[in-house]
């Protein structure tokens, strides 16, 4: 059964020893980020900051490592890709929540709106200000009314106003552009504190015509319960902790940024539209959520990794069915470095798979194909294959003027180049056997077992 809401997930984490309460005072300005960075470095548990200077506890690190992701999906490493693929392939429509929605137990409008009362961290002294980084934005295409949900950052400007940033190729950015062109207001809602599968579903790569609530329902295995927002016709998750309703104001441009992004570099400050908050609704005793981003590996990268991998794996397998696995490395921002395991059926098929991966909306700079005997999540094994199964002159190639990943700080006027490496054994050619001790994995050696 899927988690009903954030609180159900937190209960599971607490029972598993994967949620730690921080009861001493922790400042929202910088110290929350320091705690999260230190915790991330050891792949620690989620953290609940109970004394942060506001009336609301702040939970963060929910997506801090692969271990927590598997708990969220109630899966194992062996089953996770099939579990997510099945969910994407079997979408389930959302349903309207019956009765007063938990997310609207408290409703604040007009002069009662005050964003400064929320525990919004400032993650770095170089950041433009406090940032909402764990918010899921709900918006609709002004032309089709198809809803989109996605993670976007918001800078806190004042008690009623947020700075908006969305890359123009993302659906929220496209919705803003369409609303400006049509001269109509674009309503949105920032959803904070939901069951983890809704958060992961935001990362699934799909077309602009996709209703993301169907995707979330498929991944959950049952419908998402939605309720009408207070100040717009948008539908929002009924069991969320917070809903911040807003209207995008493209005429009121303010300086937004810098912020350390998924690339590990700061994006420069620039004028961007604002979001004028029209309502804040939340549960009683609501829990706010933070998310650390920046130099890999942070929870931002873990949150994207599994949905990105499965999305691209599904696309490539349709053309190359002998692809057994795919890894989009966290160190590459879950964007620029892709490793594929496959058994080529003919000479040159690995190169074809590389080109198809380069053409995906990831826009990777590096694509490596290895044989299925290589553990693609161990860099030492991938490097071994690259060292002894590659003739650089024949198996390494560069494709020039390829599109870049969003926010890549080092490009040639919006273009880059991509490197393909065929690190599979030569097709149809005798190759030495691997020198490896057989059956060592099953050998019982209690002297070095954990706890001994």
Q: What's the pLDDT score for residue 452? A: 40
Is 122 part of a structural domain of the chain? yes
In this structure, are residues 230 and 279 in contact, taking their beta carbons and an 8 Å threshold? yes
Q: What's the pLDDT score for residue 450? A: 57
Could you tell me if 185 and 121 lie in one domain?
Answer: yes
The encoded tokens of residue 111 equal: 């002069």
Is 433 part of a structural domain of the chain? no
Is 136 part of a structural domain of the chain? yes
Is 149 part of a structural domain of the chain? yes
Measured from the Cβ of residue 443, the count of other Cβ atoms closer than 10 Å reads 8
Q: How far apart are CA 393 and CA 361, in angstroms?
A: 28
* pLDDT tens-digit map of 177-216: 999 999 999 999 999 999 999 999 999 988 889 999 999 9
Is 138 part of a structural domain of the chain? yes
The encoded tokens of residue 213 equal: 């609530």
Residues 6+ apart with CB under 8 A from 134: 60, 151, 192, 199, 289, 290, 291
Q: How far apart are CA 419 and CA 404, in angstroms?
A: 13
Could you tell me if 278 and 327 lie in one domain?
Answer: no
Could you tell me if 34 and 160 lie in one domain?
Answer: yes
Is 310 part of a structural domain of the chain? no
* pLDDT tens-digit map of 267-278: 899 999 999 999
Could you tell me if 86 and 226 lie in one domain?
Answer: yes
Is 255 part of a structural domain of the chain? yes
* pLDDT tens-digit map of 372-419: 999 999 999 999 999 999 999 999 999 999 988 888 888 877 788 999
Could you tell me if 272 and 383 lie in one domain?
Answer: no
Q: How many domains does the chain have?
A: 2
Burial of 59 (0-12, 13-18, 19+ CB in 10 A): buried
Could you tell me if 24 and 89 lie in one domain?
Answer: yes
* pLDDT tens-digit map of 45-89: 999 999 999 999 999 999 999 999 999 999 998 899 999 999 999
Q: What's the pLDDT score for residue 449? A: 66
Question: Where does the pLDDT of residue 362 fall: very low under 50, low under 70, confident under 90, or very high at 90 and above?
Answer: confident
Could you tell me if 270 and 373 lie in one domain?
Answer: no
DSSP assignment, residue 29? B
Which residue do the tokens 């890999």 mark? 296
Could you tell me if 100 and 241 lie in one domain?
Answer: yes
Q: What's the pLDDT score for residue 451? A: 47
Q: What is the 3-state secondary structure (H, E, C) of 135-167?
A: CEEEEECCCCCCEEEEECCEEEEECCEEEECCC
Q: What's the pLDDT score for residue 353? A: 97
Last residue of a domain, one of 239, 270, 289: 289
Is 163 part of a structural domain of the chain? yes
Lowest mean pLDDT among 333-337, 369-373, 384-388: 333-337
Q: What's the pLDDT score for residue 217? A: 97
* pLDDT tens-digit map of 126-152: 999 999 999 999 999 999 999 999 999
Domain containing residue 362: CATH number: 3.40.1670.10
- Among 97-101, 171-175, 200-204, 339-343, the range with the most confident prediction by mean pLDDT is 339-343
Domain containing residue 265: CATH number: 2.30.110.10
Could you tell me if 392 and 243 lie in one domain?
Answer: no
Could you tell me if 358 and 266 lie in one domain?
Answer: no
Could you tell me if 186 and 273 lie in one domain?
Answer: yes
Q: What's the pLDDT score for residue 273? A: 96
Q: What's the pLDDT score for residue 404? A: 86
Measured CA distances, 119 to 153, 197, 297 (Å)? 15, 23, 24
Q: What's the pLDDT score for residue 361? A: 83
Could you tell me if 198 and 323 lie in one domain?
Answer: no
Give the mean pLDDT of the chain: 94
Question: Where does the pLDDT of residue 318 fall: very low under 50, low under 70, confident under 90, or very high at 90 and above?
Answer: very high
Domain hosting 323: range is 319-423
Question: Where does the pLDDT of residue 29 fall: very low under 50, low under 70, confident under 90, or very high at 90 and above?
Answer: very high
The DSSP H or E segment spanning 10 is: helix 6-15
């Amino acid at each position: 059964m899927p988690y009903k809401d954030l609180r159900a997930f937190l209960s599971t984490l607490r029972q598993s020893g994967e949620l730690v309460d921080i009861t001493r005072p922790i400042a929202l300005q910088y110290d929350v980020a320091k705690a999260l960075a230190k915790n991330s470095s050891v792949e620690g548990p989620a953290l609940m900051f109970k004394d942060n200077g506001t009336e609301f506890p702040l939970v963060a690190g929910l997506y801090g490592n692969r271990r927590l992701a598997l708990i969220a999906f109630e899966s194992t490493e062996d089953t996770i890709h099939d579990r997510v693929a099945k969910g994407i392939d079997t979408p389930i429509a959302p349903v309207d929540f019956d009765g007063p929605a938990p997310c609207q137990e408290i409703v604040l409008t007009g002069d009662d709106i005050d964003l400064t009362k929320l525990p919004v961290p400032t993650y770095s002294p170089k950041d433009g200000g406090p940032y909402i980084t764990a918010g899921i934005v709900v918006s609709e295409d002004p032309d089709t009314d198809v809803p989109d949900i996605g993670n976007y950052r918001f800078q806190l400007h004042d008690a009623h106003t947020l700075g908006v940033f969305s890359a123009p190729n993302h659906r929220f950015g496209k919705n803003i552009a369409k609303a400006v062109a049509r001269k109509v207001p674009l309503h949105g809602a920032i959803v904070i504190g939901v069951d983890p599968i809704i958060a992961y579903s935001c990362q699934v790569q799909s077309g602009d015509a996709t209703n993301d609530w169907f995707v979330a329902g498929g991944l959950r295995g049952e419908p998402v319960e939605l309720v009408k927002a207070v100040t717009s016709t948008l539908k929002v998750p009924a069991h969320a902790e917070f809903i911040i309703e807003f209207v995008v104001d493209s005429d009121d441009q303010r300086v937004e940024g810098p912020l350390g992004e998924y690339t590990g570099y700061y994006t420069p400050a620039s004028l961007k539209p604002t979001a004028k908050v029209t309502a804040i609704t939340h549960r009683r005793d609501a829990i706010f959520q933070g998310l650390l981003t920046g130099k890999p590996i942070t929870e931002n990268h873990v949150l994207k990794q599994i949905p990105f991998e499965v999305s691209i794996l599904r696309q490539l397998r349709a053309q190359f069915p002998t692809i057994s696995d795919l890894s989009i490395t966290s160190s590459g921002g879950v964007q620029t470095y892709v490793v594929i395991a496959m058994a080529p059926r003919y000479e040159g098929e690995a190169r074809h798979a590389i080109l198809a991966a380069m053409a995906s909306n990831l826009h990777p700079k590096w694509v490596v194909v290895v044989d299925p005997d290589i553990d693609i999540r161990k860099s030492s094994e991938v490097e071994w294959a690259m060292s002894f199964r590659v003739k650089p002159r024949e198996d390494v190639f560069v494709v020039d003027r390829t599109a870049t990943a969003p926010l890549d700080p080092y490009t040639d006027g919006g273009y880059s180049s991509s490197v393909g490496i065929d690190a599979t054994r030569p097709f149809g050619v005798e190759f030495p056997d691997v020198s490896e001790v057989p059956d060592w994995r099953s050998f019982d050696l209690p002297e070095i077992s954990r706890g001994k």
